[in-house]
């Protein structure tokens, strides 16, 4: 074969051309590595900025009284967001009450009963699409079916909107949890003469429970932080809620409402609410990860 | 363990098979093209190779045999320093190829790897066209002259006995080839860099018998030009296509001799036990 | 245990009627599917007055005025696409860098784990907090440097025409880029890590340097996954609501300038739904319908690309 073809490259077997060309390539290599690492760390700057500002602006007002007080009227000082904390928990609770059974039962159907049926394939596809739907659309839906139907803004409407939002999260993570249960367990159970229900209830579900809890915690984290779905379904309230059928405050909407007001105290309160919200979301996420890692 | 540390193949046998090769080459084939001196190798704190000494001759096929985990692949992967890609490895001793240490500070590891081709156990064509797979080595050294590339593709594919099968679909994806064709493509890709040494790490273990026969035939042709070192689990393959054979056990080189000699009259009991299938 | 006739008792149990739990699960699964259909149906139903009033002209209409009952959504449609595309252009190189950084061993594993944790945290921060941060940090920055841009480039490039506002397309896009970065990073990283180790070894054995292996073999192999990541991030960006509503200025004026206030579909919904009535509600529903179609379309394409990407990688193994 023609030896000339080889001469362009740095060659271990000849002395010339080793250092110059190879050195050029390794320099280029180092430049690219530096750029890549540099850009990666550049993205961390905004995050540190967010965490720093939330702490710096949020901590001064973080006292027990903000959890017991009511939101101050525009221009006044004092009070807190006790009703918003409760409102957030209530609406997340309503959302869980709707979405958890629906999501887990659907996951059981598509993984245990009929994994290859047309309905199951459709459910998986629809769940993927629901994850992609903008959160505000969940709000629009709840506005149409609850607010317009009942004629009033309410915690129920907010809860329904959040339920639509977290249903796919719970469904898809539950499916993964069920997939993680060994086939051999099911076969052993069926082999002993158990019915499908007994197998699922006594063998599969206990085994899949920790991973399912992860999904639910992730859903809680997501729902607690969402603003758009509750913005015009639960609206907001200056007062303690008397029932789930009246406008209800939430931390997220409080931050949104107060962020654009021209009063220092309200803006400070928005930062403190952000701090509480970020902590709530982060704790849910970390707990979710820990539950999962234990499995 | 036997203390046969300085192991060189029987010179009398070597002399018989050499002349034919010599007439076709530009210079005399060296008996000690690859020199391994007191070589130890460690994965973390676990020692994988113990005091290996061997001389591998130029333009012959040397087979490494031995049970799984005996260190044969580890040694092979040191010849082009692929083991450095694993964290926490280190070596003692030295390996010289053509009298130059592969660990020489002045040498870029990429230059070494370009000069030593490697074929892996599992064929690993890139998800690109057949053509682009072969010219990858040229392109990364900034060779983009179309004439040179075309010429290299044809020569390499002919060299790997694949040209006739793929010449009409050079720009199709390499992933559409059969298993045996993919492995020969990887050989073609390796020789496109015009290396002097070709390392093969169980190149046929994932192939069916017909594809294996083709690759073995190819190995026979390639040794006219390349120094080939092949790791194999298959005793028949070692007898069919190697000139020399090295038997490794528990990280040590037990025996190294002409293949004929190893399989007909092994010098060590362990070698005999292994090749007759008593363990391994 | 006494077993007089095990055969018949076992058979009896199997005949004990239909599996009620199975039916329950089927109902839940069907309800999940019905939810999506119900969402679309409900929005179409509520939007129908506006659909019959404005028809296709709603999409090309440039005026949105609740006082005059004239509703055209073009400025918001354009704003949605433009803000998302700018965000992608900014976030893609950054997100890819992080993904490569996480999948290579430039720095020791503990450092990479910290970076990965931090990026995941970025994904968990609520949108409204991004908005608050944007008001405090990004708006002043854009105001200051935007004025300089407007002064120097404005006269010749319409994109930077002054006056420079803090609440602007540029501000919204910058924060949006930050918000979709975790999506791009996570999916791209998965695609990069899924590239078989043997391909990397093959490239190194041919004498490739690390970056020749990354750019020549690993990235091309992972390309379909990276494309899917980009499309899915685009879908997310289009639907992102709160931060945008707080930062973009919510103007329905059509303008070339990135330094001027603008609007998006999602921002429009967030701003006006709470106090809307009559034809305005129908028009907002119509706008919501467009947003659903847009994001569903982008997501379906993204999922299809992702599925093909995963098949491709499986084929290469």
| DSSP structure string for A260-285 | TSS-HHHHHHHHHHHHHHHHHHHHHH
Residue A48 has pLDDT above 70, yes or no: yes
- Are the beta carbons of A282 and C123 closer than 8 angstroms? no
Which among A103, A80, A242, A241 is positioned nearest to A162, based on CA atoms? A103
Q: Which of A29, A197, A256 sits opposite C128 (nearest CB)?
A: A256
Search chain A and give the residue with CA nearest C299.
A132
Give me the mean pLDDT over the C49-74 stretch: 91
pLDDT at position B36, please? 95
pLDDT at position A1, please? 40
| Chain B residues in contact with chain A using a Cβ-Cβ cutoff of 8 Å | 97-98, 100, 102, 106-108, 110-112, 114-116, 137-138, 141-143, 148, 151-152, 155, 159, 193-194, 196, 225
pLDDT at position C67, please? 86
The C-alpha atoms of residue C230 and residue B268 are separated, in whole angstroms, by 62
pLDDT at position C152, please? 85
The C-alpha atoms of residue A171 and residue A123 are separated, in whole angstroms, by 9
C270 is written with which tokens?
Answer: 């967030």
More confidently predicted of A136 and A10 = A136
Give φ, ψ of B53 to 5 degrees.
Answer: -130, 125
Residue A171 has pLDDT above 50, yes or no: yes
- Are the beta carbons of B124 and A38 closer than 8 angstroms? no
More confidently predicted of C107 and C134 = C134
pLDDT at position C118, please? 85
pLDDT at position B18, please? 40
The C-alpha atoms of residue B153 and residue B127 are separated, in whole angstroms, by 17
pLDDT at position A274, please? 96
pLDDT at position B5, please? 44
Which among C224, C226, C220, C221 is positioned nearest to C183, based on CA atoms? C226
CA distance B250 to chain A (A): 31
Search chain A and give the residue with CA nearest C135.
A259
Residue A190 CA neighbour count, 13 Å, CB half: 9
Q: How many CB pairs under 8 A join A and C?
A: 259
Strands B252-258 and B244-249: antiparallel
Bond from prior residue into C163 cis (ω within 30 degrees of 0): yes
pLDDT at position C122, please? 84
pLDDT at position A5, please? 41
Question: 10 Å Cβ neighbour count for A104?
Answer: 24
Contact criterion met (CB < 8 Å) for B107 and A3: no
- Are the beta carbons of C194 and B127 closer than 8 angstroms? no
End-to-end CA distance of chain B: 17
Paired residues of B247 in beta bridges: B65, B255
Give φ, ψ of C28 to 5 degrees.
Answer: -60, -45
A120 is written with which tokens?
Answer: 């199951």
Give φ, ψ of B89 to 5 degrees.
Answer: -100, 150
Question: 10 Å Cβ neighbour count for C104?
Answer: 18
Q: Which residues contact A205 (CB under 8 A, 6 or more apart)?
A: none
Strands C64-65 and C70-71: antiparallel
The C-alpha atoms of residue A193 and residue B116 are separated, in whole angstroms, by 62
Q: Which residue is it, tokens 């992102």?
A: C240
The C-alpha atoms of residue A15 and residue B253 are separated, in whole angstroms, by 32
pLDDT at position C15, please? 52
Of the pLDDT bands very low, low, confident and very high (cuts 50, 70, 90), residue A257 is very high
pLDDT along chain B (280 residues), means of 10: 46 41 58 93 93 94 93 93 87 92 85 89 90 90 88 92 93 91 93 91 89 90 92 92 94 94 91 81
CA distance A33 to chain B (A): 17
The C-alpha atoms of residue B65 and residue C174 are separated, in whole angstroms, by 60
Q: List pLDDT tens digits, range C253-278.
A: 888 888 899 999 999 999 998 888 88
Average pLDDT across chain C, whole number: 89
- Are the beta carbons of C31 and A102 closer than 8 angstroms? yes
| CA distances for A63 relative to A78, A81, A276, C295, C315, angstroms | 12, 11, 11, 42, 58
- Are the beta carbons of C160 and C258 closer than 8 angstroms? yes
Burial C122-149, CB ≥16 within 10 A → b, else e: bebbbbbbbbbbbbbbbbeebbeebbeb
The C-alpha atoms of residue B148 and residue B151 are separated, in whole angstroms, by 5
B173 is written with which tokens?
Answer: 């994806």
Q: Which residues contact C282 (CB under 8 A, 6 or more apart)?
A: C46, C47, C48, C49, C50, C51, C53
Helices (H), chain B: 11-24, 72-79, 109-115, 130-140, 146-159, 163-166, 179-191, 209-222, 235-241, 259-264, 269-275
C265 is written with which tokens?
Answer: 């579909």
Residue C214 has pLDDT above 60, yes or no: yes
| CA distances for B260 relative to A194, B13, B133, B217, C248, angstroms | 63, 9, 37, 18, 81
**Residue in C15, C24, C128 to test binding to A, most A beta-carbons within 10 Å:** C128
Q: Where are the beta strands (DSSP E) in chain C?
A: 64-65, 70-71
B 63-102 residues inside an 8 A Cβ radius of C = 80, 82, 85, 87
CA distance A31 to chain B (A): 17
The C-alpha atoms of residue B274 and residue B178 are separated, in whole angstroms, by 33
pLDDT at position B277, please? 81
pLDDT at position C94, please? 94
pLDDT at position C154, please? 78
Give me the mean pLDDT over the A218-232 stretch: 92
Q: Which residue is it, tokens 């007002």?
A: A61
Inform me whether the C-beta atom of residue A15 falls under 8 Å from chain B C-beta atoms.
no
The C-alpha atoms of residue B276 and residue C44 are separated, in whole angstroms, by 79
Paired residues of B118 in beta bridges: B199
Q: List pLDDT tens digits, range A63-122.
A: 999 999 999 988 888 889 999 999 999 999 999 999 999 999 999 999 999 999 999 999
Search chain A and give the residue with CA nearest C177.
A43
A80 is written with which tokens?
Answer: 């807190």
pLDDT at position C16, please? 54
**Residue in A30, A126, A144 to test binding to C, most C beta-carbons within 10 Å:** A144
Question: 10 Å Cβ neighbour count for A97?
Answer: 12
Task: For residue C34, give the 3-state DSSP assignment.
Answer: helix
Q: Which residue is it, tokens 């709707």?
A: A98
Return the HEC string of C130-149: HHHHHHHHHHHHHHHHHHHH
Residue C251 has pLDDT above 50, yes or no: yes
**What is the ipTM metric for this complex?**
0.89
CA distance C170 to chain A (A): 16
- Are the beta carbons of C10 and A193 closer than 8 angstroms? yes
pLDDT at position C313, please? 59
Predicted TM-score (pTM) of the model is 0.83
More confidently predicted of C155 and A140 = A140
The C-alpha atoms of residue C162 and residue C100 are separated, in whole angstroms, by 38
Residue C123 has pLDDT above 50, yes or no: yes
Residue C146 has pLDDT above 60, yes or no: yes
Helices vs. strands in chain B: H and E counts, helices first? 11, 10
- Are the beta carbons of C139 and C171 closer than 8 angstroms? yes
B245 is written with which tokens?
Answer: 């054979």
């Amino acid at each position: 074969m023609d030896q000339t073809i080889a001469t362009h490259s740095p060659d271990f077997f000849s002395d010339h051309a080793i250092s110059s060309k190879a050195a050029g390539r390794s320099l280029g290599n180092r430049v690219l590595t530096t750029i890549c690492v540099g850009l990666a760390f550049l993205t961390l700057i905004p995050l540190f900025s967010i965490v720093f500002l939330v702490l710096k602006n949020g901590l001064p007002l973080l006292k027990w009284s903000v959890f017991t007080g009511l939101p101050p009227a525009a221009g006044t000082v004092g009070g807190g967001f006790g009703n918003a904390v409760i409102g957030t928990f209530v609406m997340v609770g309503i959302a869980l009450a709707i979405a958890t059974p629906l999501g887990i039962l659907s996951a059981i159907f598509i993984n245990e009963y009929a994994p290859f049926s047309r309905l199951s394939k459709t459910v998986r596809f629809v769940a993927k699409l629901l994850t992609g739907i903008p959160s505000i659309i969940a709000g629009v839906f709840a506005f149409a079916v609850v607010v317009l139907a009942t004629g009033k803004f309410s915690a129920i409407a907010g809860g329904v909107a959040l339920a639509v939002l977290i249903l796919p999260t719970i469904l898809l993570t539950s499916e993964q949890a069920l997939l993680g249960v060994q086939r051999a367990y099911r076969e052993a159970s069926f082999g002993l003469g158990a019915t499908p229900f007994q197998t699922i209830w006594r063998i599969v579900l206990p085994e899949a429970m920790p991973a399912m809890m992860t999904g639910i915690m992730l859903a809680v984290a997501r729902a607690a932080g969402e603003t758009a779905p509750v913005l015009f379904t639960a609206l907001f309230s200056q007062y303690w809620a008397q029932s789930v059928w009246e406008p209800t405050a939430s931390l997220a909407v409080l931050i949104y409402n107060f962020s654009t007001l021209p009063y220092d105290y309200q803006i400070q309160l928005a930062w403190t609410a952000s701090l509480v919200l970020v902590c709530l979301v982060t704790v849910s996420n970390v707990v979710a990860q820990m539950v999962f890692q234990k499995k | 363990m036997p203390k046969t540390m300085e192991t060189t193949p029987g010179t009398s046998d070597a002399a018989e098979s050499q002349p034919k090769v010599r007439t076709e080459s530009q210079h005399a084939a060296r008996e000690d093209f690859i020199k391994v001196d007191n070589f130890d190798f460690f994965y973390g704190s676990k020692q994988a190779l113990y005091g290996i000494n061997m001389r591998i001759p130029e333009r012959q096929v040397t087979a490494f045999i031995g049970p799984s985990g005996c260190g044969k692949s580890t040694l092979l992967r040191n010849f082009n320093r692929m083991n450095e890609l694993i964290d926490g490895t280190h070596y003692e001793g030295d390996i010289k190829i053509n009298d130059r240490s592969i660990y020489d500070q002045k040498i870029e590891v990429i230059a070494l790897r370009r000069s030593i081709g490697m074929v892996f156990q599992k064929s690993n064509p890139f998800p690109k066209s057949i053509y682009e797979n072969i010219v990858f080595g040229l392109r990364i050294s900034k060779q983009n002259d179309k004439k040179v590339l075309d010429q290299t593709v044809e020569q390499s594919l002919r060299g790997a006995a694949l040209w006739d099968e793929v010449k009409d679909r050079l720009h199709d994806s390499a992933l559409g080839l059969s298993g045996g064709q993919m492995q020969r493509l990887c050989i073609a890709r390796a020789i496109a860099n015009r290396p002097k040494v070709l390392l093969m790490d169980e190149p046929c273990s994932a192939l069916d018998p017909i594809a294996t026969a083709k690759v073995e035939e190819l190995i026979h042709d390639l040794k006219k030009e390349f120094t080939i070192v092949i790791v194999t689990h298959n005793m028949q393959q070692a007898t069919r296509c190697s000139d020399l054979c090295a038997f490794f056990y528990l990280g040590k080189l037990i025996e190294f001799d002409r293949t004929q000699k190893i399989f007909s009259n092994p010098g060590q009991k362990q070698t005999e036990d292994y090749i007759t299938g008593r363990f391994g | 245990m006494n077993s007089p006739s095990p055969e018949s008792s076992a058979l009896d149990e199997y005949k004990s009627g239909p599996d009620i739990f199975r039916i329950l699960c089927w109902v839940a699964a069907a309800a999940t599917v019905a939810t999506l259909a119900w969402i679309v149906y409900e929005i179409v139903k509520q939007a129908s007055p506006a659909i019959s009033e404005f028809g296709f002209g709603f999409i090309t209409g440039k005026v949105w005025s609740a006082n005059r009952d004239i509703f055209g959504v073009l400025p918001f449609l354009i704003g949605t696409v433009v803000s998302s595309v700018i965000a992608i252009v900014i976030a893609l190189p950054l997100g890819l860098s992080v993904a490569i950084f996480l999948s290579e061993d430039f720095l020791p594993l503990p450092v990479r784990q910290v970076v990965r944790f931090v990026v995941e945290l970025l994904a968990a921060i609520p949108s409204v907090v991004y908005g608050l941060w944007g008001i405090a940090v990004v708006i002043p920055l854009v105001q200051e440097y935007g004025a300089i841009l407007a002064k120097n480039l404005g006269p010749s490039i319409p994109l930077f025409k002054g006056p420079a506002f803090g609440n602007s397309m540029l501000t919204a896009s910058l924060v949006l880029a930050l918000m979709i970065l975790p999506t791009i990073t996570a999916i791209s990283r998965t695609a990069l890590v899924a590239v078989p180790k043997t391909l990397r070894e093959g490239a190194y054995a041919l004498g490739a340097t690390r970056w020749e292996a990354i750019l020549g073999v690993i990235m091309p192999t992972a390309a379909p996954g990276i494309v899917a990541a980009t499309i899915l991030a685009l879908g997310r960006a289009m639907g992102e609501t709160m931060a945008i509503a707080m930062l973009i200025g919510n103007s329905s004026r059509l303008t070339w300038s990135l330094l001027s206030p603008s609007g998006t579909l999602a921002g429009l919904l967030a701003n006006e739904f709470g106090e809307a009535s009559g034809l305005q509600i129908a028009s907002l529903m119509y706008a919501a319908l467009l947003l659903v179609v847009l994001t569903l379309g982008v997501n379906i394409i993204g999922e299809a690309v992702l599925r093909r990407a995963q098949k491709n990688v499986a084929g290469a193994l």
